[in-house]
Amino acid sequence: MGEAPDSERQKKKMVIGEAGYVLDDVPHLSDYIPNLPAYPNPLQDNPSYSVVKQYFVDVDDSVAQKIVVHKNSPRGIHFRRAGPRQKVYFEPDDVCACIVTCGGLCPGLNTVIREIVCGLHHMYGVSRVMGIDGGYRGFYSKNTVPLTPKVVNDIHKRGGTILGTSRGGHVTKKIVDSIQDRGINQVYIIGGDGTQRGAAVIFEEIRRRGLNVAVAGIPKTIDNDIPVIDKSFGFDSAVEEAQRAISAAHVEATSFENGIGLVKLMGRDSGFIAMYATLASRDVDCCLIPESPFYLEGRGGLFEYVEHRLKDNGHMVIVIAEGAGQELVSESLKSTDPSGNKLLQDVGLWISERIKEHFSKQKKMVINLKYIDPTYMIRAIPSNASDNVYCTLLAQSAVHGAMAGYTGFTVGPVNGRHAYIPFNRIIEKQNKVVITDRMWARLLSSTNQPSFLRTRDIIKANKEEEPPIQLADDSTTDDNLMEKQIHC
């Protein structure tokens, strides 16, 4: 198996194999710390793992990013498989780990914290774990919180995060100074794309200083907008909780003449919660998301569809993601929060008023519209059973990776197998609903709503989702291989 050129490897740790195989690898402490000692993994003596036939992951195991291929397709991008290794690069007694949660709330945060603490303690015998209070700025402005299995025993039953969180506050030098001064050598960072972007900068500063510190990210976003991974934790819980609001809206709508139940769900730039909640509910007549433009007036517009639906059924339920239609309320795009996110106006309230105005003044038609906004209720709940299991796997995979000396990575499932993914792949773009994909077509057929797309919108969507260039044969040079497959 050949390797990428040195200049390329410094930017991205890529390994090239036969038949178009590319391993998009993650950094290892031994890459920049010479003569780093390794130790036998204590899991080999752990009674919990004694019954497992193969409890160590093979060093060459990798996970394919793309599993639907043609007979002549190159093998494509792979990631290093997550899991315990035969050798570790930390003695358990020498480990001083810290955990920090950043950004908005999400179901499952406390479960991840709990399982990192318990995983370090029960699997590897690590006793020194601390929590950073209040997000990134807590590294240098607040005290730490001692974390033991006893302290975190019941926290998975609560919503939110016991460590507190915040947006912004990222002063890289101060953070790394604090890590160095406290003797921390494992950093577990739980947060969304902005948080992972900060984690990448922290890792680079740690590597520049040559510190023996592993940095592991656990991707968190209720909107499910992190690329590469199958889904982010908390998403299943959010979709399940959204059903309560949709059911309430349906009851309200069916109880009044020309009743309309309007539900606003979370989704600043990606409409996954709205789409999946709509598909799961089957009570929704119209779903509006940021990725699919819509218009109100004229032929084929939202007002016309609402009128037809009310005449046919006597009621309807509309689900709208918080980021949908913001171009129609463009003044809201001028300011941002400390994390750089656009400050959005309440599109649900805005569209409620527009619908009421249209039918009362122009159509002289009586409607009964009820607006339900459960956005922050959804993200504040404890995680459900599915997310609790998922959070456990994420936390344990992160612990295995850090103990094995990997650093500068985010952990997550890729096609059903947990893998270590370089920070640059996680932060390069946002995951969005593809409106030219089958899943969105399934939603349209479920709700029987129009797509509201004009021809120019369809052309634009198709251009944005053009498939990556495939390699014709194995004779392609390494440089061309990098250039063509890096965005697969």
Binding-site residues for Mg(2+), please? 193
Rg of the chain taking only CA atoms, in angstroms: 24
Tokens of 357: 């105005």
Q: CA 113 to CA 452: how far, in whole Å?
A: 43
- Where is the binding site for substrate, in residues? 221-223, 266-268, 322, 376-379
SS3 label, residue 42 = helix
Known binding residues for ATP are 104, 167-168, 192-195
Catalytic residue flag (residue 223): yes
Catalytic residue selected from 25, 223, 236, 283: 223
Q: State the Cα–Cα distance between residues 160 and 153, nearest whole angstrom.
A: 15
Give the separation between CA 476 and CA 248, rounded to whole angstroms. 58
d(Cα 122, Cα 178) in Å, to the nearest integer? 27
Residues 6+ apart with CB under 8 A from 259: 252, 253, 314, 315, 316, 367, 368, 369, 370
Q: What's the gap between Cα 170 and its chain centre?
A: 20
Copy the structure tokens of residue 160. 């939110």
Specify whether the CB–CB gap between 286 and 302 falls below 8 A. yes
Three-state DSSP state, 39: strand
* CA within 13 Å, CB half, 96: 12
Residue positions annotated with a catalytic role: 223
